[in-house]
Structure 1
Amino acid sequence: MMGLTKLVLYLTMCGIYALSKPTEKKDRAIHDKELSDKVHDDAESFDYDHDAFLGAEQAKTFDQLTPEESKERLGQIVDKIDGDKDGFVTEEELEKWIKLSQKRWIYEDVDRQFKGHDLDADDLVTWEEYKNATYGFLLEDGDTDDSYNYKQMMARDERRFKRADQNADLFATKEEFTAFLHPEEYDHMKDIVVLETMEDIDKNGDGFIDLDEYIGDMYTADSDGHEPEWVKTEREQFTEFRDRNKDGKMDKEETKDWILPADYDHAEAEARHLVYESDENKDGKLSKEEIVKKYDLFVGSQATDFGEALVRHDEF
């Protein structure tokens, strides 16, 4: 059903989740994500580093290659990371690769949706193309029981599309379409992310997020009234840190600080860590030999489809 498909897609794009179970917590903060859900403890394993270097999905497939095969294919990746082809990988080049690996799913999503919405294959997606492809069922069927909600979604999408369309011609390039689908990745889209978040949570429509709305966004009370410990912690977080001016609610700036916190650059830190651990001659950069010698740190002796990874990174 197109209506259900659209709803699922829309909720995914906007970061809205199904109702939480009593013990689940929904995290809206965007830019403080770790590079892996593994513990970063090299004394235990290099799993975190593998996820960071390859992306978690690619790292999951590392279970077929011998150490010799891993070294060979790691050497191929090194050639791709070495952007200026000087025979060395700098910390900056490694950081760029890590960021690309982490965001591969974004580019795959954009590629798929861009092709699906570029109806005339001119490498541009107009608002009309997106609207017709996404909401055509609504335009054709007229008012239905769900039409009010879909009309709200369409208006919200149009507002976001126009913000992503920086030259205001209503034609989205692939970069602009990426900003439309993934606004959290672009500085000029941050206000839209904050506005949409506040619209989602602000149930009484007063333009603020109070404590009950904040908790209600991430937690649905259990029938027995028992409140998990993390909910109590979130109440304290709201009172002590989220609500900086202590007026009992979060305004636009306080909401922005919550969902778009000042970045700790995990990719930069991981690149620095990998260089430190692998740079035998301490010249501040890595040769292919140094990287391959530490293959267990970068990729281990498991399998991945490096060929696919190389092709994908060529497209970035």
Structure 2
Amino acid sequence: MLLGSLASLCALAAVAFAVPAQEKRIHHHADLSDHAHDDTHGFQYDHEAFLGKEEAKTFDQLTPDESKEKLAKIVDRIDTDKDGFVSHSELHYWIKHRQRRYIEENVNKHWNEYDMNQDGKISWEEYKNTTYGYYLGEEFDDIEDKATYKSMLMRDERRFKMADRDRDGIATREEFTAFLHPEEFDYMRDVVVQETVEDIDKNGDGKININEYIGDMFSPESGEPEPEWVQTERKQFSEIRDANKDGYLDANEVAHWILPGEVDHADNEAKHLIHATDTDKDGRLTLSELLHHLDFIRISTITDYGGMRVEGHDEL
């Protein structure tokens, strides 16, 4: 973004960092990973599902012996009945637990930033002034793409009001959690669907066609052939997502596609991880099997949702 002066540039940087970027877009993968679930490209999705996004980064930097030692500690924590095996239910619980922990830590990270008067609540005015305050007086006139910032402000206000169940203009911690992670709350269903349609619907007709659907996930380089997973997504669109077969996804069809209540991604990921690493096919995992597939795990969500710390005070 081009700005009129260095001062404006610095101020815009402050605004950009104040806006929680990852909360601006609702993801239908429920934060398992930012990567597509594509087994032909290094299993990065599984890596972050098993380890968590932040832990996956540090895990990649460990020596082989350090990786084995850390994985052993993680497996011991997943194996809650201490029978020496990781079952599907234990793995499913672990991934769900890491997801919940990620959300909790994410809310905590932003809480003090916005609770300016430290009264244990966050008003819309506090959030708005902290995030956009520098530009509110000028109505974003110093920003070349001011329409984008105005749109962000309107979108934030709409989501904040939806999260504010008692309509008092002030968010409790639970309401602020609903604001940052609306996909986790049933009463935020409509705004989840609305924002998803707005993000993907490039021609502004209020629905999603096949090109918009694919374009949101895959932008090919010149002459690059479509990978197999994209072709699978095309088939998913026409055979499953587009229930009424009119060539578009409307709001109801988008809801069935993205809302966590419709698809348990943690359950699917647990099944996939067991399928990929269960050498003897007995439906459960041992530390030996996981160590045998260490390269696969190095690149998965069980090692942390947003920064799992095996040592220390990270309690279940």
Q: Same fold per TM (> 0.5)? A: yes
AA at the equivalent of 2:153:
M
Q: Tell me whether 202-211 or 120-129 shows the greater mean CA deviation.
A: 202-211
Give the secondary structure class of the aligned counterpart of 2:243: coil
Q: In structure 2, what is the equivalent of residue 211 of structure 1? A: 210
Q: In structure 2, what is the equivalent of residue 135 of structure 1? A: 132
Q: Which of 108, 112, 124 in structure 2 is aligned with 1:115?
A: 112
Distance 1:38 1:239 in 2: 19
Q: In structure 2, what is the equivalent of residue 185 of structure 1? A: 184
The Cα of 1:249 is off from its aligned counterpart by 1.3
The Cα of 1:263 is off from its aligned counterpart by 1.9
Distance 1:236 1:307 in 2: 36
Distance 1:118 1:258, change over 3 A: same
Superposed, 1:62-101 pairs within 5 Å as 63=63, 70=69, 95-101=92-98
The Cα of 1:163 is off from its aligned counterpart by 1.7
Give the secondary structure class of the aligned counterpart of 2:264: coil
**Is the contact made by 1:118 and 1:129 (CA closer than 8 Å) also made in structure 2?**
yes
Give the secondary structure class of the aligned counterpart of 1:162: helix
Superposed, 1:291-306 pairs within 5 Å as none
Superposed, 1:1-316 pairs within 5 Å as 1-4=10-13, 6-7=15-16, 9=19, 11-15=21-25, 29-31=28-30, 33=32, 55=52, 56-57=56-57, 59-60=59-60, 63=63, 70=69, 95-144=92-141, 145=143, 146-220=145-219, 226=223, 228-230=225-227, 233=231, 234-260=233-259, 262-264=263-265, 265-266=267-268, 269=271, 308-309=309-310, 313-314=314-315
Give the secondary structure class of the aligned counterpart of 1:179: helix
Give the secondary structure class of the aligned counterpart of 1:159: helix
AA at the equivalent of 1:263:
D
AA at the equivalent of 1:245:
N
**Is the contact made by 1:34 and 1:266 (CA closer than 8 Å) also made in structure 2?**
no
Give the secondary structure class of the aligned counterpart of 2:166: coil
Distance 2:49 2:181 in 1: 21
Distance 1:262 1:229 in 2: 26
The Cα of 1:119 is off from its aligned counterpart by 0.6
| TM-score between the two structures when normalised by the length of structure 1 | 0.63
Larger-gyration structure (1/2): 1
Q: In structure 1, what is the equivalent of residue 5 of structure 2? A: none
Q: In structure 2, what is the equivalent of residue 280 of structure 1? A: none
The Cα of 1:177 is off from its aligned counterpart by 1.6
Q: In structure 2, what is the equivalent of residue 281 of structure 1? A: none
**Is the contact made by 1:126 and 1:172 (CA closer than 8 Å) also made in structure 2?**
yes
Q: Tell me whether 258-267 or 147-156 shows the greater mean CA deviation.
A: 258-267
Distance 1:76 1:241 in 2: 37
**1:74-125 deviation line (CA, Å, top 9, x unaligned):** 78996x8899xx9999986775444233454433322221111111112211
Tell me, which stretches of 5 or more residues in structure 2 are unaligned? 1-9, 280-285
**Is the contact made by 1:81 and 1:97 (CA closer than 8 Å) also made in structure 2?**
yes
Distance 1:35 1:214, change over 3 A: closer
AA at the equivalent of 2:176:
F
Aligned residues: 286
Distance 1:63 1:156 in 2: 45
Q: CA RMSD in A?
A: 5.1
Distance 1:61 1:97, change over 3 A: farther
Q: Tell me whether 56-65 or 159-168 shows the greater mean CA deviation.
A: 56-65
Tell me, which stretches of 5 or more residues in structure 1 are unaligned? 17-27, 41-46, 278-290
Q: Tell me whether 164-173 or 98-107 shows the greater mean CA deviation.
A: 98-107
